[in-house]
């Protein structure tokens, strides 16, 4: 199974089984995925904004969290673990209702216990307005029978 199809299936499981993601990020679209790298986009809606009618920092933080999970999925883990650390740096406004947010997330390190991810958020002009990092505890995820790690991220034999 190619990475894009697998990542989309993991995203769909978030949408059907989670409480937060389908309410806040339901219109998010995964546009590209290869092992270790995922791109997604979302159009800013009223529910994504703060009282100034611009993209809410909490929405961005939620996308850092989800993006990190999708990057882990791009390496073949269906169960993407739990957060141990999440960081967001806000550089400028992320836009207003109707604007499109583009994101690119990478899995920088993928081990047996932890995965480290980083993400950049851009507007449609390609200007970065926020970036984040996310560390996930993934040790329990290795047991999921839905994993396809051998296909997407085979380990070197010693």
From first to last of its 158 residues, the chain has per-residue pLDDT tens of: 699 999 999 999 999 999 999 999 999 999 999 999 999 999 999 999 999 999 999 999 999 999 999 999 999 999 999 999 999 999 999 999 999 999 999 999 999 999 999 999 999 999 999 999 999 999 999 999 999 998 887 766 55
Q: Do residues 70 and 118 make contact, with C-beta atoms less than 8 angstroms apart?
A: no
Report the pLDDT value the prediction gives residue 127, as an integer from 0 to 100.
Answer: 97
**Which residues, including other chains, have CB under 8 Å from residue 149's CB and lie 6 or more apart?**
75, 76, 77, 142, 155
For residue 122, give the H/E element and its range.
Answer: strand 114-122
The residues facing 40 across adjacent strands are 30, 103
pLDDT for 61 equals 98
pLDDT of residue 155: 67
Domain ranges of the chain: 3-144
Q: What is the pTM of this model?
A: 0.94
**pLDDT computed for residue 151 by the predictor:** 87
Angle, CA 138 vertex, CA 67 and CA 77 arms, to 5°:
65
Give the separation between CA 135 and CA 92, rounded to whole angstroms: 24
| 3-144 CATH fold | Thiol Ester Dehydrase; Chain A (3.10.129)
| The pLDDT of residue 156 | 62
């Amino acid at each position: 199974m190619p990475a894009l199809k697998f990542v989309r299936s993991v995203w769909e499981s978030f949408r059907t089984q989670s409480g937060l993601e389908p309410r806040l990020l339901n219109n998010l679209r995964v546009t590209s995925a290869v092992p270790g790298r995922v791109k997604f986009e979302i159009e800013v809606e009223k529910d994504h904004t703060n009282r100034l009618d611009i993209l809410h920092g909490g929405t961005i933080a939620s996308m850092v969290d989800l993006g990190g999970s999708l990057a882990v999925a791009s390496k073949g883990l269906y169960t993407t673990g739990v957060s141990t650390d999440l960081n967001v740096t806000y550089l400028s406004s992320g836009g207003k209702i109707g604007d499109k947010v583009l994101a690119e997330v990478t899995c920088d390190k993928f081990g047996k216990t932890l995965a480290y991810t980083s993400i950049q958020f851009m507007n449609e002009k390609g200007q970065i307005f926020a970036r984040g990092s996310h560390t996930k505890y993934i040790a329990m995820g290795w047991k999921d029978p839905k994993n396809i790690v051998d296909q997407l991220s085979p380990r070197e034999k010693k």
